[in-house]
């Protein structure tokens, strides 16, 4: 027995995440990455199962979107499907399988093991598709469809709520444009060796920083930071301003505070006065290096 098999968690946790039990031989095949197969005498890999699972996943998600959104045109349905069936989305679903995610169950070669393969989005997405292919082979389309809905229904609902953009950076840009608070700006830090870098992204909107989200690529980190900002700003816009019952809703001769372009200020964020210095990411004002204003003269 290989070291990978000895140290991986009980497969019962993984099967519980799917809601079914899997034939041990099919399960083993679905978890076998080509790097492990090549280092162990040319074992069968999971690539054929991945090919099958990709098609099963596509038809189930496509049918669900078709029936759930009867008024959407073909182009919008295609965008919705692309927001659900993509490498990053599948990898996120894989990371949520069982108490430890799918990574610890993978059979990887030494090279992939040392370069962070257990959390590599492409490997996680491919292995999830291989597992879906194995479920289809063992149980058929009806059971595979139940498993896919169990895993992907929350993601489909979330994607449908994002509007026309369907990716977080575009959704955030549409939201900030509607609020009149400018274009989001992204900041990226990286850490770790070249073969296993992690990236941390923040997005700055109207002087406020959101995110601090990590990813294995700059794109992934930026998408997660944009998601954090979109959710926070959407919640602020949705929150009603409470007014004591014994007071009028507006003071006489006083206009409601507005942000840029006359848009009401976001809840909890005072509108900056003209010439004031924006707050830093931690909410602390940044001192003006030239208080005399000579550079601005």
Catalytic residue numbers read 54, 129
Whether 259 and 271 have beta carbons less than 8 Å apart is answered as yes
Tokens of 158: 């979330």
Name the burial class of residue 290, with classes exposed (0-12), middle (13-18) and buried (19+) by CB atoms within 10 angstroms of its CB: exposed
Whether 216 and 199 have beta carbons less than 8 Å apart is answered as yes
Cβ neighbour number for residue 171 with a 10 Å cutoff: 20
Whether 136 and 53 have beta carbons less than 8 Å apart is answered as yes
List of residues 6+ apart from 180 with CB closer than 8 A: 259, 260, 261, 262, 263
Tokens of 264: 């009401």
List of residues 6+ apart from 154 with CB closer than 8 A: none
List of residues 6+ apart from 118 with CB closer than 8 A: 103, 104, 106, 108
Q: Are strands 208-215 and 198-205 parallel, antiparallel or unpaired?
A: antiparallel
* Helix-strand-coil split of the chain, %, nearest 5: 55, 10, 35
Helix spans in the chain (H): 3-7, 11-18, 24-30, 34-39, 47-68, 74-84, 87-95, 110-114, 121-139, 141-160, 168-179, 218-238
């Amino acid at each position: 027995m290989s070291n990978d098999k000895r140290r991986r968690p009980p497969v019962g946790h993984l099967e519980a995440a799917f809601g079914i039990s899997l034939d041990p031989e099919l399960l083993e095949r679905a978890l076998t990455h080509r790097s492990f197969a090549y280092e162990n005498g040319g074992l069968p890999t999971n690539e054929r199962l991945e090919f099958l699972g990709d098609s099963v996943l596509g038809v189930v998600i496509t049918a669900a979107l078709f029936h759930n959104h009867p008024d959407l045109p073909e182009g919008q349905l295609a965008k919705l499907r692309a927001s659900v069936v993509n490498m990053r989305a599948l990898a996120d679903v894989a990371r949520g399988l069982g108490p430890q995610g799918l990574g610890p169950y993978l059979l990887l070669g030494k090279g992939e093991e040392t370069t962070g393969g257990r959390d590599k989005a492409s490997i996680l997405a491919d292995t999830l598709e291989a597992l879906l292919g194995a479920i289809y082979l063992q149980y058929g389309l009806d059971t595979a469809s139940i498993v896919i809905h169990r895993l992907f229904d929350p993601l489909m609902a979330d994607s449908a709520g994002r509007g026309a953009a369907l990716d977080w950076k575009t959704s955030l840009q549409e939201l900030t444009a509607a609020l009149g608070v400018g274009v989001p700006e992204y900041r990226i830090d990286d850490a770790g060796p070249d073969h296993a870098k992690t990236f941390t992204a923040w997005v700055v909107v109207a002087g406020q920083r959101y995110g601090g989200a990590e990813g294995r690529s700059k794109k992934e980190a930026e998408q997660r930071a944009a998601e954090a900002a979109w959710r926070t700003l959407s919640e602020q816009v949705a929150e009603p301003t409470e007014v004591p019952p014994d007071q009028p809703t507006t003071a006489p001769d006083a206009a409601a505070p507005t942000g840029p372009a006359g848009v009401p200020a976001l809840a909890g964020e005072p509108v900056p006065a003209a010439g004031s210095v924006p707050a830093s990411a931690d909410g602390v004002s940044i001192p003006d290096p030239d208080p005399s204003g000579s550079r601005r003269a």
